[in-house]
Amino acid sequence: MKILRTLADLTTCISSLKKSDKQIGFVPTMGALHEGHLSLLDVCNTKSDVSVVSIYINPTQFNDPQDFINYPKTLDADLAKLKDRKCDIVFVPDPGEIASDYLAKPFALNGLDTVLEGYYRKGHFNGVINIVSLLFELVKPDISFFGEKDYQQLAIIKAMVKALDFPIEIYACPTMREADGLAMSSRNLRLSPYYRNKAAKIYEVLNQAKLLKADLSPSQVKDWVYERINEEKDFKIEYFTIANSLTLQNIHSWETSIQMRALIAVYCDGVRLIDNIEF
């Protein structure tokens, strides 16, 4: 496994791979790696000749400076996990070399970025687009892997690739969960054992809500979810939406002709957790 830390080393390495016509697979991450990230790497290894993982905690996508400070940093353990799992190249850029205002050109997202995470975390998706477009320019992947765990991010990256004409396939990977259903997340490390145990309720409630579709309207399901989550001590729901899977706009009645997704954000003892399921 090659560990590259400078843009110059990465550029040299990528040009030589391109000359030998290798298919490059790419998994961008912010580290604190868990089985969710590693599942993306596993798929990447089966679908490309060379796997590249980046580890970079991107400050521009944190709307809350305290969240950035608290974000877990576990580089040595991350590198050991990647080596164990088979990764060809890890790119760990020096923050000093990463431009915070890199963005090829503005493009329309047709409302994908103004709802949900975009509404509650102002500037978050600008930061994501900024870093992912820069990494795409540098790594020049043929295919790049993103988790459905961050469903809105996945939709925005797909829209970005189309709008900016990146010759890259975006491959969606399913959400990996703990045995009790909690979506794996680097932020789970910040939960105390008590709240870690309680946090499984988020996925449980999402699944129960789906069963209520037969009897309740979307707004009644929404009220039911708010009540179930907020009744837990130190849980506070930030949003729960049932949306059109493609546009992410809220739906007001059950429609059989479109795919729907339920998306949720919950503060659990101050730790912000997100999840989503097909609805």
Catalytic residues: 37
Residue 184 interacts with ligand AMP (CB under 6 A): yes or no: yes
Among residues 14, 17, 26, 36, the one that binds ligand AMP under rule CB under 6 A: 36
Among residues 185, 188, 241, 276, the one that binds ligand AMP under rule CB under 6 A: 185
Residue 168 interacts with ligand AMP (CB under 6 A): yes or no: no
Measured from the CB atom, is 159 or 173 closer to ligand AMP? 173
CB of 20 to ligand AMP, least distance (A): 27
Residue 14 interacts with ligand AMP (CB under 6 A): yes or no: no
Cα(81)–Cα(32) distance, integer angstroms: 10
Residue 44 interacts with ligand AMP (CB under 6 A): yes or no: no
Cα(156)–Cα(150) distance, integer angstroms: 10
Residue 173 interacts with ligand AMP (CB under 6 A): yes or no: yes
Do residues 195 and 269 touch, judged by C-beta distance below 8 A?
A: yes
CB of 154 to ligand AMP, least distance (A): 7
Do residues 161 and 133 touch, judged by C-beta distance below 8 A?
A: no
- Site residues for ligand AMP, window 58-117 (CB under 6 A)? none
Binding flags for ligand AMP, 118-157, as an x/- string (CB under 6 A): ----------------------------xx-xx-------
Do residues 54 and 139 touch, judged by C-beta distance below 8 A?
A: yes
The two three-digit tokens of residue 91, written as one number:
């790119």
CB of 136 to ligand AMP, least distance (A): 13
Stretch that binds ligand AMP, among 1-9, 66-74, 177-185, 215-223 (CB under 6 A): 177-185
Residue 266 — φ and ψ, nearest 5°? -135, 135
CB of 160 to ligand AMP, least distance (A): 14
Measured from the CB atom, is 58 or 221 closer to ligand AMP? 58
Cα(37)–Cα(168) distance, integer angstroms: 20
Residue recorded with tokens 């020096």: 94
Nearest one of 114, 107, 100 to 160, comparing CA atoms: 107
The two three-digit tokens of residue 107, written as one number:
């493009």
CB of 273 to ligand AMP, least distance (A): 11
Nearest one of 267, 271, 264, 266 to 192, comparing CA atoms: 271
Residue 40 interacts with ligand AMP (CB under 6 A): yes or no: yes
Q: How far from 221 is each of 200, 208, 229, 230, 249, CA to CA, in Å? A: 19, 10, 12, 14, 16
For residue 25, the SS3 value is strand
Residue positions counted in the chain: 279
Site residues, ligand AMP (CB under 6 A): 29-30, 36-37, 39-40, 146-147, 149-150, 173, 175-176, 183-186
